[in-house]
Structure 1
Amino acid sequence: MKKIKIDTEYIKLDQLLKYGEIAQTGGHAKFLIKDGHIKVNKEICTQRGKKIFRGDIVEIEGEESLIIE
């Protein structure tokens, strides 16, 4: 698990994937989200602009997890 600290109230899912170095580009983030490879709090999320708040857990392809602080 990788912990990601944010200084704002929330971060959008596609931005988080780039910030957390999961996706190299916005297009890559869009592909991962659109194809159902991302779970937010154990539910598949296909919304690029989904707001991610502190305490949320983002899972990538069931392998890597990001915990938002």
Structure 2
Amino acid sequence: MIKFKLDKEFIHLIQLLKAVNLVQTGGEAQAVVMEGLVKVNGEVEYRKRYKVRVGDKINFDGQAIEVS
């Protein structure tokens, strides 16, 4: 599990995927979100600008991210 410490109110989903190095580029992050490959709190999330907040759990490519 990847632990991500949020230092502001939220981070956009595509920015988070890049910040934890699960994707290399913003374009790649947008593509995997739009293809429905990312889950937020157990639900498929298609919004690339989804605001990830403390307590959210993101799953992608066999990896889990916990936001604190």
Q: TM-score, normalised by structure 1?
A: 0.95
Alignment of 1:2-41 (within 5 A): 2-41=2-41
Q: Gaps spanning 5+ residues in structure 2: where?
A: none
Deviations 1:21-68 (A, max 9, x none): 11100000011101010000000000000000011000003x110000
Q: CA deviation at 1:6?
A: 1.3
* Structure 1 unmatched ranges of 5 or more: none
Q: CA RMSD in A?
A: 0.6
- Residue identity over aligned pairs, in percent, reads 35
Which consecutive segments of 4 or more residues in structure 1 shift more than 2 A? none
Q: How does the TM-score come out when normalised to structure 2?
A: 0.96
Q: Across the two proteins, how many residue pairs are aligned to each other? A: 68
